[in-house]
Amino acid sequence: MRNNKFRGMQIGTDDFVYGYYFQNLGKHWILCGTFNGIPTMIEVYGNTVGQFTGLPDRNGKNICEGDIVEGEKYSGKPGIYNNHTGVVKFRHESFSSFGINQYVGQEAKMNSLFEIIGNIYDNPELLEVAK
């Protein structure tokens, strides 16, 4: 079963909000808590919703789908690791980092040794291939 905490970019402010995700009448919402027993729901852009992986990065920040991470991935040979930069996605019942730029075609299972360097919404320039 997937962890059910999410983040999404608030419509109008472009700030991320965190909580529980749901859709209603074609709109996307994050339930952030309650105030005087009334749920606090914030509308978000549906294409920015990403789920927490359940893992912190090496600095203690929660890793979410859509984050761009860098670190080392196991090479398949004992004791040998390769550099890796990628975008976090949920595929095949687990979270992985899918390589970008010179790491395209590589996949690395998520772990707490990666570091978040940005996300695909605030830092699209990190996805651009260097010329």
- Whether 1 is in a domain gets the answer no
- CA torsion 109-112-113-119 (nearest 10°) is 80
User: Number of folded domains in the chain?
Assistant: 2
What's the confidence (pLDDT) of residue 130? 53
Same domain, 19 and 58: no
Residue 2, pLDDT score: 45
Q: How far apart are CA 90 and CA 93, in angstroms?
A: 7
Look up the CATH number of the domain holding residue 106: 2.30.30.290
**What pLDDT sits at residue 75?**
80
Q: Where are the beta strands (DSSP E) in 10-80?
A: 16-24, 27-35, 38-44, 50-56, 62-64, 67-74
Same domain, 56 and 41: no
Q: Does 73 share its domain with 115?
A: yes
Q: Is the pTM of this model over 0.85?
A: yes
Domain co-membership, 114 together with 74: yes
Write down the mean pLDDT value for the chain: 90
What are the tens digits of pLDDT across the range 75-101? 888 888 889 999 999 988 889 999 998
For residue 29, give its domain range. 6-47
